[in-house]
Structure 1
Amino acid sequence: MSKLPSRVFVVVFLGIVAVLTACRPAVAPTPTPTTAPAPAVAPTPTPTPVTAPAPTPAGPTPTPFIAPTPRVAVTPTPTPAVARGPKRGGTLRFVPHADPATLDPTWTTAYITRNYAYHVFDVLLARDDKMEIRPQMVETWRVSPDGTEYTFTLRDGLQFHDGTPVTSEEAVLSLQRWGKQDAQGKIVFSFVEKIEPIDAKTFRLKLKEPLGLTLEAIGKPSSYLPVVFKKEDALKPPTERADARIGSGPFKLVTHQPGNKLEFVRNDAYKPRPEPPSGLAGGKIAYVDRMEWLIMPDRATALAALRTGTIDYFENPLNDDFDTLSRDPNIQVFVVPYGYQAWLRFNVLHPPFDQALARRAVQIAADQPTYLRAAYGPERFWNTCLALFLCGGPWETNAGTEFALRGDLEKGRQWLRESGYDGRPIVVIAPTDLPILYNASVVTKQLLEKLGAKVDFVSTDWATVVTRRAKREPPEQGGWNIFHTQWIFFDVMDPSVHQGITPWFGFYTNPKMEALRVQWAKETDPAKRKQLVDEMQTLYYEDVPFINLGQNFPIRAAQKYVKGVINHPVPFLWNIWLDR
């Protein structure tokens, strides 16, 4: 296949190739679906209840976001509606990409925990397939005329799996816990004057000044996921793991056997929203009686189980398996829409990468195609991209790229020496149960050795990586220097959500960068926001808290009797039913 330009201005969403003109960056105002956006200051002094996305006060003019797409034909998303219609019953046997090290989605950004949380918990607001904010646990909200006060009312019938009602107090405590941990949440809560329950179903959020991303932050679609916990979990500091087993979502956790499986049953008390499913919003209907999430670290074993019908749905086959799976008459294959941004993450607390010059040394010596081929296979599944906030969108820029990846080993060796590197082993932690990240880690080991560094290559599982990356101790005391990860489109598409330029694991801090992020969130002039993005990307390439290794598009596969799959970056399993 001939290589096409990396900036492809077409988006695949729900598995259907279409031009997406309704998407916007996460801090853009949310227009109502049937009328033109209302002005920031309401024409009447009385706030108006809404059950659909309300216009967000004090935000920039919406900019369409054209997301990246792979250079490969995409299997259309199966429609849930067939001649017989959906039916209840059966057990869905699903192989997730990893075993969760924790069940707490506010303690970790690990996607396996986020995916678990989407099934066991619920969220206040959610994004639909056009990236619009929709009510989920919330029934209505009101915005004051000056845009500084939001009043939310929960819908009727919400209850936790133990039968206790969901209260506004628990919604408030959960948001406060999330706001201490999440990059976007921290911005919002820096503007919060007060958040408090009014009655059992209603709570009020009072801001010091209008902030355009308020609703979109509460409706954040990915990690850290702002779910509503029971009170005892919501009161836990976000640095401590909550038990996180009892939620209010469409499925109940029955058991978690680490290293083996998670078992769920349908929550018969759950009341889905009446709207049809759309993205992460709308009705979440649990058609299957049970789900088994089977932990299979060996991908060949999982692939064989899929092809023999032992399992129903495999979250992450390798892209190299695409052609073989596509030829199987019993299997349907999905290319994940929007894609991921791949990272090499540094620990900036300890030598040698406490020095920015050492981090620049690795970056200047690396090149994206080598990593992308090793981790993601054929070129049709990846695009090179140097933009911090993705290529193909409104925040793409070339600012600062004079320090970008160029495969310059000589310059890399020079800078590593000049940084003061003393020959100590560099600890790279590599998850053997995630081949894409493991393969990228092998490339890093080889690159560091070419630069003259010693490498302590630690092969382990992803659950251990998730635990170890939180350690601040020196590498020789159980800490680390480098690990690889990747982020979906939602988590890197603009400065308010991008964890890579925050103190996320790796512990990078720069007051200038944080001030730029907050200024960007407050700014209403698109031209000034673009200038701020240029400044942030230039600072990113100078500081190098992580190396951007490009954009990629993984695949998923399921038996053809698995109906109702909505192809989405988050692999949710509600609305799925079994036709066998």
Structure 2
Amino acid sequence: MKFRATCLAGAAAVALCAAGPLAAQGNVDVAIIGDADTFDPMISTKDVVSIVTQHFLETLYTFDENWQVVPLLAADMPTISEDGTTYTIPLREGVSFHDGSTMDSADVAASLSRWKDVASRGMAIADQIGSIEATAPSEITITLTEPYAPLVTLLAFSNSAAVIYPEEIIAPEIKEPIGTGPYKLEAYQPDQYTQLVRFDDYTQPGEAAGERAQTPDEIRFIPVPDTNTRVEGLLSGQFDYADSLSTEAFARIEGSDVAEPVLLDAFGWPLFAVNHKKGLMTDLNIRRAVQAALPYDDMLFAAFGDEKFFQTDGALYPEGWPWHTEAATELYNINDPEKAAEYLAEAGYDGQPLRILTSRQYEFHYQMAEVAQMALEMAGFTVQLDVVDWATLAQNRDNPDLWDIYITHSPFLPEPTLTSSLFGTAREGWVNPDKEEVLERFTRETDLDARKAIYAELQEQVYGDVGMIKIGNFSAVQGKSRKLSGVVPSPWPAFWNAAKAE
């Protein structure tokens, strides 16, 4: 499923629409919501980490513009045994790391072994990985204990990513990553910038992955936590691209002579992640009370302001996706404080604060939280709204003692099992026997129609057990200079082909 992205200025149809002669070299300055707090994407699911690190760290596979998996460091798609348990993956030859060494199968096997031990998505399938072996200098073989249909998609994903490092630097913690990407990390000044420079010995991937032209000399990622400051910097020409802008700024950007908005239509879904490990939300009746109390229409309107930017929709995937199902959506948007109060009474709720962890760096998270707080208090909850910067939120959400709900969002992803919240190994710790049985069947099944039917059962588990709480669908706003071309709109925009008109 391709993201429908539109560059809304003049008569342009897509966001690759700068006119005039292009500067062959130069710098591209990108405003992002905060620092990448790690340059090791194996250990992070944060989008800001993926956006930055994809430029210097690479995976065996990646996605094309239609969300099809294609080879990147792999030379081809894997050969899969008839029983679905053995994946033989050929590797590209002559690929250079930034330290001058050449990638081989030992590097890949060591990196993937670390991924299954430290990455949330790797740990989710670690029990199903029998072995990862270098079976030839340019070949690895992954042997599973049972079929796992989404494996190759998992190896292609850019957060909690199965990136490839030199074997020599593999360790539980990697502070100075060495990769194979078109750019390399040159400098990092906390709270100021991350500077990437062109890697001159980069070897281009195959045609399917597309050229990574290394057009800019430098790419600078500048942390700008305040949404309005990102907008003003874009409009003044300080930034060439800005991520995660408020919908309120859309009209101003659209009317600018300097910049233009980039709209990722039906981008993804905001959600309330639920703490199943400790605290109030371990009680199903408390979870059901929250589910019943939340007024999704009001929350979405507060966050996005105009219905062209959101849809009140309970299906975990919207219409048009192969995973769309209406199963159990009668439990979506109940918006009934009296029903919520009944659940609270059944739980014996004693007024203990419900702790909601959020941040203003994604302003729409905070705006939803404010509406949710009022609705939950009307239903009888005592609500504690903990508003912190995004880096602190990312740290605190790993400690189940510090929150009951944290607010996040996700793009709609091509494979449902890329949603880490479905797995008990995720920080939320959602485990119940019925869900585990459905999830196991879903990951073992290879037939698409059969997987669709099982996914409907999985959505029923999400709603019935309140595994997580979807708020709705939303369209994301980014912004670009009118002089900039070569950036394909994406949840994780890449800048290796970016060029600026003179």
**TM-score (norm: length of structure 1):** 0.80
Q: 1: distance between equivalents of 2:384 and 2:168?
A: 41
**Does 140-149 or 452-461 show the bigger shift?**
140-149
Question: Cα deviation per residue 1:65-91 (whole Å; 9 max; x = unaligned)?
Answer: xxxxxxx9996324489775x543211
> Which of 80, 103, 106 pairs up with 2:39?
103
1:339 partner letter: F
1:499 aligns with 2:436: no
Structure 2 counterpart of 1:176? 113
Where do residues 356-505 of structure 1 align in structure 2 (5 Å cutoff)? 356-472=284-400, 474=401, 479-490=402-413, 493-503=414-424, 504-505=426-427
If each structure's helix is expressed as a fraction of its own residues, which one has the higher value?
2
Rounded to whole Å, the distance in 2 between the matches of 1:216 and 1:346 is: 26
Quote the RMSD (CA, aligned, Å).
2.7
Do the aligned partners of 1:345 and 1:547 also contact (CA within 8 Å) in 2?
Answer: yes
Structure 1 residue 420: Cα displacement: 2.4
Name the residue aligned to 1:57. Answer: none
Please tell me whether residue 204 in structure 1 is matched to residue 132 in structure 2. Answer: no
Q: Using a 3 Å threshold, how does the CA distance of structure 1 residues 171 and 337 change in structure 2: closer, same or farther?
A: farther
Structure-1 separation of matches of 2:352 and 2:195? 45
Secondary structure of 1:433's aligned partner: coil
Equivalent-residue separation in structure 2 for 1:459 and 1:112 (angstroms): 19
2:293–2:337: 8 Å Cα contact kept in structure 1?
yes
Is the CA contact 2:128–2:145 (under 8 Å) kept in the aligned structure 1? yes
**1:332-386 per-position Cα deviation (integer Å, ceiling 9, x unaligned):** 2211255011101121222311101101101111122111111222110111211
Q: What is the aligned partner in structure 2 of residue 271 from structure 1?
A: 203
Amino acid at match of 2:67: M
Q: Give the 3 Å change call, closer, same or farther, for CA 568–227 of structure 1 in structure 2.
A: same
1:299 to 208, 224, 227: 227
CA apart distance, 1:325:
0.8
Q: 1:451 to 1:171 in 2, by over 3 A?
A: same
Note if 1:511 corresponds to 2:433: yes
Percent identity, aligned pairs only, is 26
Amino acid at match of 1:117: T
- Pairing partner for 1:136 from 61, 72, 84: 72
Deviation at 1:524, TM superposition (A): 4.3
Structure 1 spans left out of the alignment, 5+ residues: 1-9, 18-71
Distance 2:5 2:332 in 1: 33
Kept in 2, the 8 Å contact 1:338–1:569? The answer is no
SS of the equivalent of 1:514 reads helix
Cα offset, 1:234, TM superposition: 3.8
| Structure 1 residues 21-40: Cα deviation after superposition (integer angstroms, max 9, x where no partner) | xxxxxxxxxxxxxxxxxxxx
> Could you say which residue in structure 2 is the equivalent of 1:257?
189
Task: Using the TM superposition, give the Cα deviation of residue 11 of structure 1 relative to its aligned residue in structure 2, in angstroms.
Answer: 6.1
Question: Once the two structures are superposed, what CA deviation does each residue of 1:403-429 show, in whole Å capped at 9, x if it has no partner?
Answer: 332210111122123212221222222
Which residue number corresponds to residue 245 of structure 1?
Answer: 177
Partner AA of 1:487 in structure 2: S
Q: 1:538 to 1:75 in 2, by over 3 A?
A: farther
The answer on whether the counterparts of 2:15 and 2:262 sit within 8 Å (CA) in structure 1 is no
Q: Secondary structure at the match of 2:76?
A: strand
Give how far 1:314 is off: 0.9
| Aligned equivalent of 1:36 | none
Q: How far is 1:318 from its partner?
A: 0.7
**Structure 1 residues 416 and 260: alpha-carbon distance in aligned structure 2, compared to 1, 3 A threshold:** farther
Report the 3-state secondary structure (helix = DSSP H, G, I; strand = E; otherwise coil) of the residue aligned with 2:42: coil
8 Å Cα contact 1:343-1:546 kept in structure 2: yes
**C-alpha deviation, 1:486, in angstroms:** 0.3
Q: Secondary structure at the match of 1:206?
A: strand
Cα distance, 1:223 vs. partner? Answer: 2.6
Q: Does 1:228 align with 2:151?
A: no
Question: Which residue does the alignment assign to 2:278?
Answer: 350
Q: Distance in 2 between matches of 1:305 and 1:525?
A: 49
Q: Which residue of 2 aligns with 1:23?
A: none
Hey, what does 2:217 align to over in structure 1? 289
How does the TM-score come out when normalised to structure 2? Answer: 0.91
Identify which range, 416-425 or 388-397, moves more after superposition.
388-397
Q: Following the alignment from structure 2 to structure 1, what is the Cα–Cα distance between the partners of residues 262 and 268?
A: 15
Q: Verify the 8 A CA contact 1:233 1:243 in the aligned structure 2.
A: no
2:27 is matched with which residue? 91
State the distance in 1 between where 2:76 and 2:453 align.
36
Residues 245, 125 of structure 1: CA spacing in aligned structure 2 closer, same or farther, 3 A cutoff?
A: same
Residue 233 of structure 1: how far off its partner (Å) = 5.2
For residues 80 and 162 of structure 1, the distance between their equivalents in structure 2, rounded to whole angstroms, comes to 36
- 1:159: which partner in 2? 96
Distance 2:62 2:134 in 1: 21
CA-to-partner distance for each residue in 1:417-443, whole Å, 9 max, x for gaps?
Answer: 321222122222221222111212222
Which position in structure 1 is the counterpart of 2:480? 558
Instruction: State the Cα deviation string for residues 188-227 of structure 1 (Å, max 9, x = none).
Output: 554433220124432122344554433333223x432221
- Please list the CA deviations of residues 475-505 of structure 1 after superposition, one character each: whole Å capped at 9, or x if unmatched: xxxx111210000111xx5442222322322
Deviation at 1:148, TM superposition (A): 4.1
Inter-CA distance 434–530: structure 2 relative to 1 (3 Å threshold)? closer
User: How many residues are treated as equivalent by the alignment?
Assistant: 500
Residue in structure 1 matched with residue 443 of structure 2 by the alignment: 521
SS of structure 2 residue aligned to 1:572: coil
Looking at structure 1, the residues matched to 286 and 71 of structure 2 have their Cα atoms a distance apart, in angstroms, of 46
Aligned equivalents of 1:73, 1:563: Cα separation in 2: 15
**Counterpart residue number, 2:55:** 119
Amino acid at match of 2:163: V
Name the CA distance, whole Å, in 1 between partners of 2:106 and 2:49.
Answer: 24
1:567–1:75 distance in 2 versus 1, CA, 3 Å: farther
